[in-house]
Chains A and B, each alone.
Chain A
Amino acid sequence: MAGFATKRLGKELSKINSNSLPPGIELVSADNFEEWFLDIRVLDNNPLYLNEIYRLKFRFSAQYPIEPPEVTFVKLADRPIPIHPHIYSNGIICLDLLGQQGWSPVQNVESVCMSLQSMLTGNSRNERPAGDEEFVRANRLRPKDIDFYYDDNNV
């Protein structure tokens, strides 16, 4: 159905505008129904992410919410890429929720942000994923085309 994603995103946007997002999540821009930017920060005193704000980029396909959105961290002057064993230094996130298998159409932008928020909050390991440098140098695929292997259930 044409414009299904548009309609769904319209609903989400109007809900965000009227109800405002939970603490620690802010909408930066939603100028179209293809690409949104949001800022997130952790709410506790985790020293890894203290006083830092991270920029998230959502890219929606026409099949959203049947298909997951493409979510990555964006590196800007004041927006670093958070350190995390499942976040590559180029911003790509390895999270089953965002993969074809783990995604569910009942998820939305807000719930994804909250999941990432809690993913950071729950982390205590100051490290990048294994083979980060190699991956960042070699990867030409889009995040959704990468075949992640979700093996770590601890973080």
Chain B
Amino acid sequence: MPPPNTPEEGLLPPQSEPSRIASILATATPPPVDSAPEQAPSPEAAATTTTTTIHTVVPSSPEDPALLEIDYQILEYLDTVDETLLCPVCKTPFHEPITTSCGHTFCAWCINRALDIQPTCPIDRQPLTKTHDYHRPPLIIKDQLDRLKVKCPNKGCDHICPREHLDSHYERRCEHTMVRCPDARCRKRIARRHVQGPASTCMHREVSCRYCDERVALVDLNTHYDFLCSGATTKCSACEATVVLHRMEKHCAEDCLETQVRCKWHIAGCKVDDKRYLVQEHETGCPYEIIGELLKQRAEDRRIIDNLTDRLVALETERREHQERRARRRELSRQAPNTSHGADAIDLSAPDPSTFFYDMEWRPDLSNVGAGENRSWGSPEDYMLARFERLESRMEDLSKQVVELDAHQSMSMLQQIMPLNQQLVELGSKVGVLNMHTTWLMNMQRHNHLQQRAGAVSSSGSGMGNSGMASMSQMSSANDINNNFPVRLTEGGLPYRTTASRRNSDGRGEPPPRL
């Protein structure tokens, strides 16, 4: 048990003894400063705790939860809730309802407590077992409960929403939700709107009120000033009125009738400087009012003039930028044609279109009158330049295409000519072969012819030695041809000879396969 914490203990929300010890041990830090022995628990602390017990539930887990749970039993419902939606035990609209096996519906919490005492249904006394005999209630009940309009349970928050959205409002959005104090050692809670940031210090440490010396928790200081502070009021030295002390400045500056003030037309030269109520009387008929009004008017005019000057400067800058841009373009347009087109470009730039359009542009009606197409380009000159550029790029495209086409054409030409060449060579060789065959056949025929004639001569008589000699020489020449024939063939190469000879034997002059 932590002995120094005793004054605090009575104020802590009820917790089971071991869990409280555990949580205190877990923090392992000295108890909060405000529980120091010389200080009795402040009324403020007591008040906070009371509100805690009234509108929030005890922490559900042994550790300090980030948020206190919403107590559904004290929620304020906007409309009267139908009796059938009220739990028979707690008489409030069901929260997390369950339906028993005998068909009655209760809040889970209520029926659990009731069954602890007596294991029967509170309504018809049928025996019930905790959780075992629980069923999910019809969805229609949930829908009806979800739709009930409730007020946010946080003090000071006027938010109204359907009950199903209450949790998210309370947990995430409501600025009045009590959250953990930013100081980890402090066990108290603080409204979310008072938490300045992750680095802010404990808002529960007590400070002395400036006006009444009372010890007040920092978080309550403003409320204390405005409503509770006993030493906060004092008498205004000028008007004798009772004023809250820290409001004194405001009182003197705006309200106090006895305070010395100047006429509001002192800017116009009014010298009146008196008590406020006299000055207020004076102000209604102050002769300087006219001057004051004029001055006001002048100030107003001044403001307008300044405004216009600013705009003029802005426009001027814009115009200059525009001109610079145009000059740059002109420069470009001069260079571009020279490089690509030579002589033509000179013709284009000769009349100097830029100067020509320059005049035009400076007559606003003319530039505006220009055709719709023109307008989108800003000035006729810009339009021409753009056209020119477009044409140029198109020409580039075209020349590229021409080159491409050229290459393509020569390619296809080559592809077509190649097989033709081959065919020609083939035909040439075929003709050669045919030639040889013909020669050979003719030689044969002549040889046969000679032999027949020689036979006839020898059988008829001698004296034909010449012819015999001649036939012999003929024979040898024929043999020469026979010997030469294969040699000639091998010259053409083996594959060629075979194809050629096959084609010859087929007797068909098949055209060579096209490539």
Contacts and interface: CB of A to CB of B under 8 A. Distances in A.
B111 to A, nearest CB: 9
Contacts of B73: 1, 4, 7
Interface in B65-107: 71, 73-74, 88-92
A79 interface: no
A65 interface: yes
Interface residues of A, number: 20
Interface of B: 13-14, 53-54, 57-58, 71, 73-74, 88-92, 109-110, 113-114, 116-118, 122-123, 125
A104 B123 contact: yes
A3 interface: yes
B55 to A, nearest CB: 10
Given A66-B116, A100-B117, A7 B92 contact: yes
A152 B91 CA distance: 32
Contacts of A70: none
Contacts of B53: 2-3
Interface in A78-127: 100-101, 103-106, 108
Interface of A: 1-4, 7-8, 11-12, 15, 63, 65-67, 100-101, 103-106, 108
A3 B89 CA distance: 14
B117 A66 contact: yes
A76 B198 CA distance: 64
B304 to A, nearest CB: 65
Nearest to B92: A11
Contacts of A11: 90-92
B57 A105 contact: no
Contacts of A101: 118
A66 B74 CA distance: 18
A66 B112 CA distance: 10
Given A1-B57, A11-B92, A105 B110 contact: yes
A4 B57 CA distance: 10
A70 to B, nearest CB: 15
Nearest to B113: A66
Given A1-B57, A1-B109, A67-B117, A104 B92 contact: no
A65 B117 CA distance: 11
B511 to A, nearest CB: 108
A149 to B, nearest CB: 18
A3 B125 CA distance: 26
A8 B122 contact: no
Nearest to A65: B89
A15 B86 CA distance: 13
12 contacts: A7-B92, A12-B91, A63-B113, A66-B114, A66-B117, A100-B118, A101-B118, A104-B114, A104-B123, A104-B125, A105-B89, A106-B88
Contacts of B13: 2
Contacts of B91: 8, 11-12, 15, 108
Nearest to B74: A7
A84 B495 CA distance: 141
A104 B122 contact: yes
Nearest to A3: B53
Contacts of B74: 7
Contacts of B116: 66
Given A66-B113, A100-B118, A104-B123, A2 B92 contact: no
Given A3-B53, A100-B118, A106 B89 contact: yes
Nearest to A15: B91
A65 B91 CA distance: 10
Contacts of A15: 91
A26 B505 CA distance: 140
B248 to A, nearest CB: 44
A110 to B, nearest CB: 12
B58 A2 contact: yes
A3 B74 CA distance: 10
A14 B258 CA distance: 53
A118 to B, nearest CB: 19
A8 to B, nearest CB: 6
A63 B118 CA distance: 13
A108 to B, nearest CB: 8
- Among the interface residues B53, B90, B116, B125, which one has the most CB atoms of the partner chain A within 10 A? B90
B109 A105 contact: no
A100 B437 CA distance: 139
Contacts of B113: 4, 63, 66, 105
B92 A105 contact: no
The list of the 7 closest CB pairs from A to B, nearest first, reads A106-B88, A105-B89, A104-B122, A11-B91, A105-B122, A106-B122, A105-B114
Contacts of B110: 105
A104 to B, nearest CB: 4
Contacts of B58: 1-2
Nearest to B109: A1
B19 to A, nearest CB: 15
Nearest to A10: B74
- Among the interface residues A63, A66, A103, which one has the most CB atoms of the partner chain B within 10 A? A66
A11 B54 CA distance: 15
A103 to B, nearest CB: 8
A130 to B, nearest CB: 28
B84 to A, nearest CB: 14
Contact of B54 (A3, A4, A104, A106): A3
A108 B73 CA distance: 17
A18 to B, nearest CB: 10
Contacts of A67: 117
A67 B118 CA distance: 10
Nearest to A7: B73
